[in-house]
Amino acid sequence: MAALIYHLFSSSSLSSLGLYHVICSTRNHLKSPRDYVAKPYHPLSFSSSQRFKYLQLYLLILCLLIAFAHQTLISSDSDPLLRGRTPVHRFTSLQSAAVVFLFFLLSVSLLLSETTSLLPFPPDLFFGVASGIFFLQYSVSSGAAFVQISDLQAKCDSVSARISALSSILCLVLACQPRLFVADVGLGASLCLQGLWELQTGLSLYVDAFIPEGCHKLLDVVSGVEGSTKCDLEDSKLRAVAILDLVFVIHVLFVVVMVMVTYACVTKTVGVRRFGPYEALPTAVAAADSNHIQMKAMTGTQA
């Protein structure tokens, strides 16, 4: 139950963070396409109080502290259902805790950069460091998938690793091209996708109604430790992996639709400002008409 609650907590945190980033990035781009630059953080625009202006950063730091504490605590517990038993489980959990702690340091640095002048943190440096941390998360998730004896959990960890790799690539692109709106929105969408996959992972591994047919929960007979989910037959394993692939595609489609709906709603609220090479034509035509009227007036006066 504790593992399921942690997955739900991670899912809600990542999904809300990604959706907020997509909304703010779209809003800034529609307001001023020419001056648009990707930002690592968007303060709350409707709050005039300095305390609530950075509310999201405070909540993000709190969530990362909770995740770090969770990963550190579970590293002290033995997991007999993992290859290599206790040492491997301890090392993989500590690796995950280290990655979460790096994200915590990055968030604190961003908060200090936004609120004080003690630590000026340019956006390109932020995205470059975030790219490295996301790549480290990809490496840790890939390693965790390799040592799992649960077929479904290994599949879930490998998909999560690929999403982290995508986030790393997008952060690297933004570090080099901060004006690329597509990459900025894609980063927010990847966070939403990671949040949805965290939810799917918790449901597929710990909720009986979502466990694929032919698979069951693992239980260590000696220690009585509840583990993840395993499929006994090879056909059941292949079927379960195919179902997870299908569910992942559905999650991707949902995120794409969510981004399109968000863009449409923000466009309707803010409006669209288009800049093109023919924007000055109406002004020029109006000036020509004004000169023509003045010439006719002067001609009439002379007559």
Residues contacting 195, CB < 8 A, separation 6+: 10, 11, 12, 13, 14, 15, 16, 17, 18
Quick one: tokens of 127?
A: 């995205």
What does the pLDDT profile of the chain (303 residues) look like in tens digits?
677 888 899 999 999 999 999 999 999 999 888 889 999 888 876 655 666 788 888 999 999 999 999 888 877 766 555 554 556 667 788 899 999 999 999 999 999 888 887 888 888 999 999 999 999 999 999 988 887 777 788 889 999 999 999 999 999 999 999 999 999 999 999 999 999 999 999 888 888 888 888 887 766 544 434 456 778 788 888 998 999 999 999 999 999 999 999 999 999 988 665 544 444 444 444 444 555 445 444 444 444
CA distance 263 to 269: 10
- What pLDDT shows up at residue 254? 96
- What pLDDT shows up at residue 114? 84
Neighbours of 256 (CB within 10 A): 12
CB 15 within 8 A of CB 252: no
CB 148 within 8 A of CB 165: no
- What pLDDT shows up at residue 262? 94
Which residues are registered as beta bridge partners of 148? 82
Q: How many residues does the chain have?
A: 303
CB 255 within 8 A of CB 196: yes
CA distance 176 to 274: 25
Q: What's the number of domains the chain is made of?
A: 1
The range of the structural domain enclosing residue 246 comes to: 2-302
- What pLDDT shows up at residue 135? 96
Q: What sections of 219-271 are H helices per DSSP? A: 234-270
CA distance 273 to 277: 14
- What pLDDT shows up at residue 278? 42
CA distance 51 to 114: 12
In 3D space, the residue among 190, 184, 187 whose CA is nearest the CA of residue 36 turns out to be 184
CB 123 within 8 A of CB 37: yes
Q: What angle do CA 167, 41, 11 make, to 5 degrees?
A: 50
Which residues are registered as beta bridge partners of 229? 217
Ramachandran sector of residue 252 (left: φ over 0; alpha: ψ -120 to 50; beta: rest): alpha
Residue 249 identity (one-letter amino acid): V
Compute the half-sphere exposure of residue 296: CA atoms within 13 Å on the CB side of its CA: 5
Most distant pair of Cα atoms in the chain: their distance:
113
Residue 87 identity (one-letter amino acid): P
In 3D space, the residue among 209, 216, 250 whose CA is nearest the CA of residue 233 turns out to be 216
The secondary structure of residue 272, as a DSSP letter, is -
- What pLDDT shows up at residue 89? 67
- What pLDDT shows up at residue 121? 82
CA distance 287 to 160: 59
